[in-house]
Amino acid sequence: MKFNFDFIKNKKIYFIISAILVSISILSTFVFGVNLDIQFKGGTILTFLYDGEIDQADFEKTAVDALGGLGVTSTIGEDFTSGRKNIQLSLISNEGLSSDKQIELTNALTEKYSANTLELLESSDVSPSSGKEFFLKCIVAVLLSFIVLIVYIAIRFKNIGGWLAGFCGILALIHDCIIVYGTFVICGMPIDANFMAVILTILGYSINDTIVIYDRVRENEILYRKTKTRAEIVNLSINQSLTRSINTSLTTIMAMLVVTIVAAIYGVNSIFSFSFPMMIGMLCGSYSSICFICPLWHMLSEKFKSKKKSYGKKRRHA
């Protein structure tokens, strides 16, 4: 299928859409607040095994009552070793939960859910410092990947202004990361290891699409430099890559959609908080690669080109 969309002509519309999405994502921090996971706040995690069915909301209420109002969250899963169901109780506290409180909570829960043969599998205290260290390491990994990507793009695409192309590519990645962050905040999902996994995956997914389009621009620059304008070359390159981008995006997004629906039906929050933001991130990555990066790169490259020409004229006159 051949496309003939004028992406350069409509670039202002795409920039406005991106600006609105980024603004909403940033403002959501102040409207909804950031839900940091226990690994960043610190606290205690208790994992219980059980048989049959347990109402998750009722289980949390029982735990809150036993702890005198201390906030808790729970996640239901399955223990692969024993094949039994498990429920993980997370209690956010800088000091953790004392052994006496743990015993009191365990007794209250095992007594109420004795029919489910509820038993404590393990308990662990989480230090907030370890979570912060993990987060900082992930940030360092992202920053290093940005540097490597800029250098790689600059070298590989030097005939189309590689450093500027690399800079635009990084701007698009930041754009994608902010929108994924906004998805977590607006949906009330905790900022945890899943968040960092989604961010790192989207970085690779988005830049892959970008490099494919840049590669088309580089080839078309050689073929049509004398017969087409830079805007026409960029439009042609994006349209040539569009079928491949749509097919790849639809395949991966549909797979994530199925996972998201199944996770939502069965209440597997740990998977849902990965698959749903991943799906949004893939949509955003496809959009930024097609509609945001190349029009931005074209606009900036034309501005730099005109500045160089005016600077050269001033030097000749001088």
pLDDT score for 95? 62
Digit-coded pLDDT (tens) for 228-266: 888 898 999 999 888 888 888 888 889 999 999 988 887
* pTM attached to this predicted model: 0.80
Query: Can you say whether the dihedral through the CA atoms of 31, 34, 35, 41 is positive or negative?
Result: negative
pLDDT score for 16? 94
pLDDT score for 311? 46
One-letter-per-residue 3-state SS of 280-318: HHHHHHHHHHHHHHHHHHHHHHHHHHHHHHHHHHHHHHC
Domain 43-126 grouped into CATH 3.30.70.3220: yes
The closest of 87, 83, 145 to 112, measured between CA atoms, is 87
- What mean pLDDT value characterizes the chain? 84
In DSSP notation, 124-181 reads EEE-HHHHHHHHHHHHHHHHHHHHHHHHHHHHHTGGG-HHHHHHHHHHHHHHHHHHHH
- Look up the CATH number of domain 11-34+130-308: 1.20.1640.10
pLDDT at 310 over 70: no
One-letter-per-residue 3-state SS of 86-100: EEEEEEECCCCCCHH
Digit-coded pLDDT (tens) for 189-243: 888 888 888 888 888 888 888 888 889 988 998 888 888 888 898 999 999 888 8
Range 281-291 average pLDDT: 89
Residues 6+ apart with CB under 8 A from 45: 38, 88, 89, 90, 91, 123, 124, 126
Q: Report the alpha-carbon distance of residue 10 to residue 193 in Å, rounded.
A: 38
Q: Domain limits of the chain?
A: 11-34+130-308, 43-126
Range 32-56 average pLDDT: 83
pLDDT score for 84? 82
From residue 33, how far is each of 75, 79, 176, 182, 316 by CA, in Å?
21, 33, 20, 11, 57
The closest of 103, 10, 34 to 299, measured between CA atoms, is 10
117 pLDDT band (50/70/90 cuts)? confident
pLDDT score for 179? 94
